[in-house]
Amino acid sequence: MATTTPSPGLGSFWRDLPREGKLLLSIVVIQFFGTGLVLPFHVVYLHEVRGFSLSDVGLLLGLPPLMGLIVVGPGGTAIDRVGARRVQLGVLSLLVVGDAILAFATTRPVAALALAVNGVAFGMMWPASQSMVATVIPQHLRQRYFGVNFTLINLGIGIGGIIGGFFVDVADPTTFQTIYLADGASYVPALVLLLGPLRHIARPVVVEPTDDAAPASYLSVLRSPAMATMTLLSFVSSFVGYSQLNAGLPAYARGVGEVSTRALGLAFAANTIVIVVLQLVVLQRIEGRRRTRVIALMGVVWACSWLLLGFSGLVPGTLGATLLVAACASVFAFGETLLQPTIPALVNDLAPDHLRGRYNALSSGSFQLAAVIAPPISGILIGHALGNVYIGLLVVGSLLTGLLAIARLEPRLDPAVNGVVDSGLPPVESEFLAVDSADSTGGGPESTALTTPRTRSR
């Protein structure tokens, strides 16, 4: 199996990108600008502006990932049954409503309602979004699309965070109401696109009854050896990756490294800058290489980043500790530029059309499960002066991610699914080929139903 070798340049990527893909990318910065406005200030808003206790704030902020984990499974089924576009319309509508409620939430129950609504939306957002992208972006462009999309997400979040930091004032609640309403408004352009120019994309796929068609269920997804391994890989990479960046790194940096909150903010700013600067360069370097090897390299990079964090505990409260924490966040960002283009592309190249929602939901759910489990574990280890054990766990887990990718996942992948272009290698007899070969065609937007001899759009 071979695909057409794409030109590596960003200009050629934009020229080759279908009109639908260009429209989807055009609103990413706007949408995540709103996210950046509010992301750093949830605790400040709920505790210092609304007056909720920190313990209550912790419980409230635990609602979104919990709700997301609960709905991600049914969300994947809904994507396959009614289409990713319709689910995404519901997601965006819920986010507008949730932010509007949160802007005026003066009591705990109202804040809980708003955060629960947002959690439900975010639980279905990534599976719906990635499934929708896969229906309009040809296979040979998906890896670069996901990488460029990730760059724009971070650019939007970074700009929003900077502007939000200058704008909000704890003494003036209306400034916080403004940023939450602005966050809600940032989803409106995507709604307009999906109701207008993109109303024809991501329709549900009906499978004609045949003996070799996989039944539409999560059980059939997990019976796929490659996807079962991908699910485990997603969980491990999330546990040692984003779950720790958002919870464990700040806790260790403050409690063990004794760095200031300002230094912590600079570390996260450095993380964003590295992603924006390096992602497009990395995309060119990894084009045509085995995605499993790229993930393995990411595991080594993340292991190095956590070692840097561990070294900050040897010089607590010093400039050295501050620099080491910033270096940790920056090196981690390099690993992110390796991860973000590869895992979504792998999942969607593995997925047959009629199970695409479930494939993406399973991958997203494993990430969310790790996000629920990881913070308590990091809190217990750091809180009980077991910082060395904590760092050791992350280093070993990062290296385990690479081992899973090469030793367990790579043998189960067709070379083209693994990102090898014109490899000349014989195809792997995998469930991907047996169940559905629709994605190997790299069909363009002119046939967004991705019709095959066994599928048709409804």
Mean pLDDT of 396-406: 96
What total number of domains does the chain contain? Answer: 2
Q: Are residue 273 and residue 197 in the same domain, yes or no?
A: no
Instruction: Decide: helix, strand or coil at residue 98.
Output: helix
The answer to the question of residue 170 being in a domain is: yes
Provide mean pLDDT across the span 433-453.
Answer: 34
Residue 40 DSSP symbol: G
* Residue 208: per-residue pLDDT: 60
- In terms of average pLDDT, the best of 63-67, 86-90, 267-271, 350-354 is 86-90
Enter the pTM of the model: 0.81
Please list, in sequence order, all residues whose beta carbon lies within 8 angstroms of the beta carbon of residue 205, skipping any fewer than 6 positions away. 80, 353, 354, 356, 449, 450, 455, 456, 457, 458
Q: Are residues 198 and 317 in the same domain?
A: no
- Are 226 and 197 within one domain? no
Which string of DSSP letters, residue by residue, matches 328-352? Answer: HHHHHHHHHHHHTTHHHHHHHHHS-
Examine the domain organization and report whether 181 and 221 are in the same domain.
Answer: no
Residue 292 lies in a domain: yes
User: How far apart are the C-alpha atoms of 300 and 318, rounded to whole Å?
Assistant: 27
Same domain membership, residue 263 and residue 144: no
Averaged pLDDT score across all residues of the chain: 85
Structural domain harbouring 63: 8-202
Question: Residue 457 above 80 pLDDT?
Answer: no
Together in a domain, 374 and 261: yes
- Residue 108 clears pLDDT 90, i.e. is over it: yes
The pLDDT of residue 229 is: 94
DSSP assigned state of 429: -
Q: Is the residue at 457 inside a domain?
A: no
Residue 6 has pLDDT above 80, yes or no: no
Residue 448 included in any domain: no
Q: Which of 1-15, 38-52, 171-185 is modeled with the greatest confidence?
A: 171-185
Instruction: pLDDT band for 74, please (50, 70, 90 cuts).
Output: very high
What are the DSSP calls for 384-428, one per residue? TT-HHHHHHHHHHHHHHHHHIIIIIIGGGS-TTTTT-SS--PPPP
The total number of residues written for the chain in this structure: 458
CA angle 42, 43, 46 (to 5 degrees): 85
Q: Does one domain contain both 299 and 322?
A: yes
Task: Tell me the C-alpha distance between 414 and 419, whole Å.
Answer: 9
Out of 202, 235, 268, a domain closes at 202
pLDDT number for residue 212: 59
pLDDT of residue 214: 57
Residue 96 located in a structural domain: yes
Check which CATH number belongs to the domain holding 137 and give it. 1.20.1250.20
Residue 445 lies in a domain: no
